[in-house]
Homo-oligomer: A and B are copies of this chain.
Amino acid sequence: MPPKPVNQGQIDFWFDFLSPFGWFASLRLEEIAARHGRATEWHSMLLGVSVLKVMGLKPLLETPLKGDYLRTAAARYARRHELTFKTAKGVPPISPLPPARAFQWAKVHRPEIYKRFGADLYAAYWRDGRNIGDTEIIAEIGANHELDGQALTDAITSNEMRELLRGEVDASLDRGVFGSPFIIVDDEPFWGVGTLEELEAWLDGGGW
């Protein structure tokens, strides 16, 4: 087979704010994409919907054996990559809906900064252990990007954003997305932060 041409379509990146591995991937994705001349689009999704409702599985961290492994593996990843990381015990339990809806709102209304807003929400949670389920904290983070606090607050409970997020989650399921991080480029799916090397090799035009 001839090598695949590089610099084709965009990289689609799905993540759940509750997923530390999604955060880890988000920290490397833009650099990887830029190095290969690819655009990215970030999509927030809800693991609870895909894992619980569609796959019929338990929440990952509550699954015997696997939950312990994922905690160990996340902490080890953070040490290896020298990340300040709160671990699942160090972050407040939150609903992922408020940050996901706020992110969705920024994506629609401030597309030029929505990824950085998402990155800041993510870091506030997993790096700083802040309660990003709290509307005031979301608004404070949004203010760093000159997002209108009232509009953001309204968006979190609006039917419009509820429907938009629901649509994003449905669309993710249609694409076969079931985990976080989940990346699709050139119709090739890559699940897990452990596949970033494989993704890079793909973007290098491996041809397989």
* A28 CB to nearest chain B CB (Å): 14
A201's closest neighbor in chain B, by CB?
A: B80
CB of A191 within 8 A of CB of B64, answer no
Count of this chain's copies in the oligomeric assembly: 2
A191 to B74, CA, bound (A): 12
Interface residues of A in 175-206 (CB under 8 A from B): 176-179, 188-189, 191-192, 194-195, 197-198, 201, 206
Report whether A178 and B80 are in contact in the complex, using a CB–CB cutoff of 8 Å: no
**A76 partner residues in chain B, CB cutoff 8 A:** 188, 198, 208
Query: Smallest Cβ distance from A136 to chain B, in angstroms?
Result: 36
Residues on B with beta carbons closer than 8 Å to the beta carbon of A188: 72, 76
In the complex, how many residues of chain A place their beta carbon closer than 8 angstroms to a beta carbon of chain B? 33
A68 partner residues in chain B, CB cutoff 8 A:
176
B65 x A56 contact (CB < 8 A): no
A208 close to B64 (CB less than 8 A): no
Which of A44-99 touch B at CB < 8 Å? 50, 54-58, 63-66, 68-69, 72-73, 76, 79-80
A127 to chain B, nearest CB (A): 17
Indicate if the CB atoms of A56 and B56 lie closer than 8 Å.
no
In the bound complex, residues from chain B placing their C-beta under 8 Å from that of A171 are none
Cα distance, A76 to B55, chains bound together (Å)? 23
CB of A9 to closest CB in B, whole Å: 17
Partner of A176, one of B65, B198, B208: B65
Query: What are the residues of chain B within 8 A of A65 when measuring CB–CB?
Result: 50, 54-55, 173, 176-178
Other than the given A55-B63, A72-B189, 4 more pairs (CB < 8 A) read A55-B65, A57-B58, A66-B179, A73-B195
